[in-house]
Amino acid sequence: MKKTQATLLAIVVILLMGSTVAFAHHGTANYDTNKSVTVKGAVTKFDFINPHVTIAVDVKDDKGKVVNYRGALTSPNRLTRIGWSKDTLKNGDVISISGFPAKSGAPEIWIQKVVLANGQALDTSGGN
């Protein structure tokens, strides 16, 4: 009887641990949602793939050094519903991205806004 209870307890603990990881993935815990940053640069990579669309841009810092920022958006499925596609951005396109900076200080942003060089803002709501 004790062996069965111990096995059941172990299974429950493992399932609970796995669910915590699943919930943590979709949060903004890594980002400072009380701050916003905007960077402008040339797109170096646009990944229109699950679980999150990502954009990388080369940005010049205050000293002229190029820093590659990586920004994350919602899923491609949601962005497709509001007009995005794998061809929305191309390497070399100059854009501005605004959003929540990484708490760690890394050049990462949870993107809230994307603006093209011509001033057009792309919808990033994801169809929410």
Residue 78 lies in a domain: yes
Percentage, residues of the chain above pLDDT 90:
73
Report the domain count for the chain. 1
**What's the pLDDT at 4?**
72
Residue 3 lies in a domain: no
Residue 20 lies in a domain: no
Domain housing 45:
37-122
**What's the pLDDT at 14?**
61
Among left, alpha and beta (phi > 0; psi -120 to 50; other), residue 99 is: left
Q: CB count, 10 Å around CB of 5?
A: 9
Residue 1 lies in a domain: no
- Taking the CA atoms of 39, 36, 62 and 120 in sequence, report the sign of the dihedral they define: positive
Name beta bridge partners: 71.
55, 109
Residue 19 lies in a domain: no
Residue 49 lies in a domain: yes
C-alpha span between 53 and 79 (Å, rounded): 9
Residues 17-43 have a mean pLDDT of 76
Residue 93 lies in a domain: yes
In this structure, what CATH number is given to the domain that contains residue 79?
Answer: 2.40.50.1010
Residue pair 111/125 in contact (Cβ under 8 Å)? The answer is: no
Q: Which residue has the tokens 């062996």?
A: 3
Segment 44-81, tens digit of pLDDT: 999 999 999 999 999 998 899 999 999 999 999 999 99
Task: Show the tokens assigned to 118.
Answer: 């011509």
Residue 82 lies in a domain: yes
